[in-house]
Amino acid sequence: SDSTPLTAAEYDFVIVSNRLPVDRVTDSDGVASWTRSPGGLVTALEPVMRDAEGAWVGWGGQPDLEIERFENDGIHIIPVALSAVEIEEFYEGFSNDTLWPLYHDVISSPAYHREWWECYVKVNQRFADAAAAVSAQGAAVWVQDYQLQLVPKMLREKRPDLTIGFFNHIPFPPYGIYSQLPWRTQIIEGLLGADVIGFQRVADAGNFLRAVRRLTGYQTKNPVIEVTSSSERPRRVVARAFPISIDASSFEKLARQPHIQERARKIREGLGNPKTVMLGVDRLDYTKGIGHRLQAFGELLAEGRVDVQDVTLVQVASPSRERVAAYMQLRDEIALTVGRINGDFATMSHTAISYHHHGYPRDEMVALYLAADVLLVTALRDGMNLVAKEYVASRFDEGGVLVLSEFTGASDELKKALLVNPHDIDGLKDTILQAIAMPEKERSSRMRSLRKRVLENDVARWSNNFLKTLEQARASRYDRLVPV
Ligand code: GDG
């Protein structure tokens, strides 16, 4: 899309995240352009930034992108460059092969490498410096996610005038797991540089407060931490849950468009008009429980409890972190399982699993949501899971059944879903059958209540709540510095 250069300016509101909302892509002729980048963080923050006159600091998704700030589609972009080695050690290494598996309850084994940590420190400093350079006096800076946990402290050291927020999009693990991390205290101190630290679930905030108590001498009185040091006045840090959401009405709006509904009909037709279409949409990630879902569906077919003529599973697995070994292995495992199930059960006219290892435009996703009678979210651990909320927001017709893992943040809110423990394959199979057979009346009454929740608690409310709390932190700090 369009991008125009920007002149130097300072901003009162700055978002800092590892990835920019746009990715630099280069086509086969070597022509570069920017496209919207994938994933939950961007889905959530893009509408927030559109409403604010701020700047977004982040990485453009390719090595050594030394480019000046620019404007893209109304958003002011401040690019941070990463070298190929830094992508390997900071991003693929420490962020996605140490922190990601550790914070998701060690579903996959975290790797601990001192060089990765050193690179993480160095890159966090670069993001902090970039944010400091574009922030106006007294600005609010909102730092995002596990890749940048040292930025709050680094930023405060350079710019004590700023009000700093941090939001963690992924879970914060129980202390017994977190304590494995060789740099556990540095990360806690890094986060405590913020005035407000947000988590997805109440349990995540609780885990964090416990880690603070175990690793520092600070007093805590939920949700406040008194941070004391010899060089600074005592500071109050608020750590609590702010469950993230989506721009719900924009999904409903898309779903109401006739051409998207027509596309949903075409999708069902293309699958041979089965009685039931089930859907999974995930980044191809071992936290999402895709293998558990396939296992359950395969067993139901093998036992003749579902018939391939009647039920099709569509699985979209968008490519993710393709250079990290655990993800390459997962990709092979899933492809093998899909191939085996289709080989065993598909007929000439009906496939068991329609598997798609690529991303789709938003319109197509909404058409899929409308085409699906059942959405399967079987994550083994997930900070929130926006896909569940997108499905609900799209179903203005009050059709569709949501099967939702108890290990998602979304399950704290979406109580009228069919909640499952994805590790319990028998339980999962029974729940899938219950979803397929659910009477229309129950379906619509559950969906109505889910929709109420998602449409009320949308992403605007999430960011307003967070930013209001940040504003209160700024005000109370001012009182303290300038007593009346
Ligand atoms: C992290 C946390 C938390 C996926 N494939 C395509 C596509 N997507 C979009 C979905 C959704 C987003 O990506 C995925 O969000 P999730 O929340 O489901 O999962 P993560 O990417 O792991 O996000 C998560 C989130 O951050 C926000 O805090 O909820 O727990 O892990 O919006 O629709 N979008 C399009 N094509 C695709 O192929 N257009």
Q: Report the alpha-carbon angle 148-284-115, nearest 5.
A: 40
Model pLDDT, residue 484: 42
pLDDT tens column, 421-454: 999 999 999 999 999 999 999 999 999 999 999 9
Mean pLDDT of 49-71: 89
Pairing relationship of beta strands 196-199 and 219-221 according to DSSP bridges: unpaired
Protein residue with least CA distance to atom 27, ligand 1: 40
Ligand 1 atom 28: residue of nearest CA: 169
**Percentage of the residues of the chain whose pLDDT score is greater than 90:** 86
Q: Which atom of ligand 1 is nearest to the CA of 246?
A: 32
At 355, give phi and psi (nearest 5°). -105, 130
Q: How far is the CA of 42 from the centre of ligand 1 (A)?
A: 8
Mean per-residue pLDDT of the chain? 94
pTM: 0.95
pLDDT band at 158 (very low <50, low <70, confident <90, very high): very high
Confidence of residue 40 (pLDDT cuts 50, 70, 90): low
- pLDDT exceeding 70 applies to what percent of the chain? 98
Q: Which of 387, 405, 413, 462 to mutate to test the pocket of ligand 1 (most atoms within 8 A of CB)?
A: 387
Ligand 1 centroid distance, CA of 162 (Å): 30
Asked whether the predicted pLDDT for residue 411 surpasses 70, the reply is yes
pLDDT of residue 253: 97
DSSP assignment of 122-178, as one string?
HHHHHHHHHHHHHEEEEEEEEEESGGGTTHHHHHHHH-TTSEEEEE--S----HHHH
Amino acid at 147: Q
Ligand 1 pocket mutation pick from 330, 380, 384 by most atoms within 8 angstroms of CB? 384
Sorting pLDDT into bands at 50, 70 and 90, what band is 18? Answer: very high
Q: How far apart are the first and last CA of the chain?
A: 51
DSSP for residue 286:
G
Q: Is the pLDDT of residue 1 over 70?
A: no
Dump pLDDT digits (tens) for 91-118: 999 999 999 999 999 999 999 999 999 9
Does the pLDDT of residue 478 top 80, yes or no? no
Residues with CB under 6 A from ligand 1: 38-41, 43-44, 169-170, 244, 281, 283, 316, 318, 359-362, 365, 382-387, 390
Region 137-156: mean pLDDT is 97
pLDDT, tens digit (0-9, with 9 covering 90-100), for 194-213: 999 999 999 999 999 999 99
Give the residue, out of 386, 394, 408, 458, with the most ligand 1 atoms within 8 A of its beta carbon, to mutate for a pocket test.
386
At residue 39, the pLDDT reads 63
Q: How far is CA 369 from the centre of its chain?
A: 19
pLDDT in tens, 376-400: 999 999 999 999 999 999 999 999 9
Confidence of residue 249 (pLDDT cuts 50, 70, 90): very high
Reported ipTM: the value is: 0.99
